[in-house]
């Protein structure tokens, strides 16, 4: 008599089977890129130069302010320097300073719906490192399209950091053009930035520099007289 074992499937799985468990998990990585945002108005604090490091080591350092040199009265016996030439159709604001802002062209006629370009220039500048300006226009008639480097601060091949902020409800435009840290200043005359606007509605509006100037590599203020251009939209 032969006995046949009666093995149930459960017993067979227990004797010959195996159980394997795999564990897995997911990770979510967020990459955060910091951005430095200046104040909404041009002030002594947010016009100072800012140096930043790399993505692994970020450094924010304001260069210490130094006192501006005291202007000396010219010697009556010394002849005045010759004035720099300016475009014939550029508008220069009156003033006694040696440096001036000017718009080229100073009289602009644009067609409604089209774009036009105007250059913000500086003349008679000496040892300029950065140029912060604020200008105003009528937002009902004009809309800012683009701000690009004009070449004055990069005339020696240095890269220029260009930051601008626009409030299209008040027609306020703030622009700061700065040479790289450690670079010296530049002198002479040239276009700081080139502005592109779109004509929105017919009428006339001034394009006015309401605040601005320049700074040398030591962050000392350089006085620059303001300017105004007239825009007529047809």
Closest to 135 (Cα-Cα) out of 13, 42, 48: 42
Arithmetic mean of pLDDT, 165-171:
91
Task: Say if CB 192 and CB 150 are below 8 A apart.
Answer: yes
Which domains does the chain show, CATH number per domain? 110-222 (2.60.40.680)
Q: What does the block give as tokens for 39?
A: 């104040």
- Average pLDDT of the chain? 76
The predicted pLDDT at position 181 comes to 92
Q: What does the block give as tokens for 79?
A: 């002849």
What one-character DSSP code corresponds to residue 163?
Answer: E
Question: In angstroms, rounded to a whole number, what is the distance separating the alpha carbons of residues 102 and 144?
Answer: 18
Is 80 exceeded by the pLDDT of residue 193? Answer: yes
Q: How many CB atoms lie within 10 A of CB 153?
A: 30
Closest to 217 (Cα-Cα) out of 63, 39, 112, 14: 63
pTM above 0.75, yes or no: no
* Model pLDDT for residues 104-148, shown as the tens digit of each residue: 999 999 999 999 999 999 999 899 999 999 999 999 999 999 999
């Amino acid at each position: 008599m032969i006995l046949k074992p009666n093995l149930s499937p459960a017993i067979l799985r227990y004797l010959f089977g195996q159980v394997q468990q795999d564990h897995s998990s997911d990770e979510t990585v967020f990459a955060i890129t910091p951005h430095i945002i200046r104040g909404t108005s041009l002030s002594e604090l947010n016009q100072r130069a800012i140096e930043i490091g790399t993505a692994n080591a970020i450094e924010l350092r304001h260069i210490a302010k130094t006192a501006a040199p005291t202007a000396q009265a010219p010697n009556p016996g010394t002849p005045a320097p010759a004035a720099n030439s300016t475009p014939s159709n550029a508008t220069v604001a009156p003033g006694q300073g040696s440096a001036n802002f000017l718009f080229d062209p100073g009289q602009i006629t644009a067609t409604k719906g089209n774009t036009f370009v105007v250059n913000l220039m500086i003349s008679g500048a000496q040892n300029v490192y950065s140029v912060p300006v604020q200008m105003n226009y009528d937002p009902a008639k004009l809309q800012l399209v683009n701000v690009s480097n004009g070449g004055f601060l990069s005339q020696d091949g240095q890269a220029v950091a260009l930051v601008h902020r626009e409030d299209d409800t008040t027609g306020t435009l703030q622009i700061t053009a700065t040479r790289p840290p450690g670079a010296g200043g530049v002198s002479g005359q040239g276009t700081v930035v080139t502005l592109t606007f779109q004509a929105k509605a017919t009428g006339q509006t001034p394009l006015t520099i309401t605040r601005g100037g320049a700074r040398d590599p030591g962050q000392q203020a350089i006085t620059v007289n303001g300017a105004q251009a007239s825009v007529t939209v047809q």
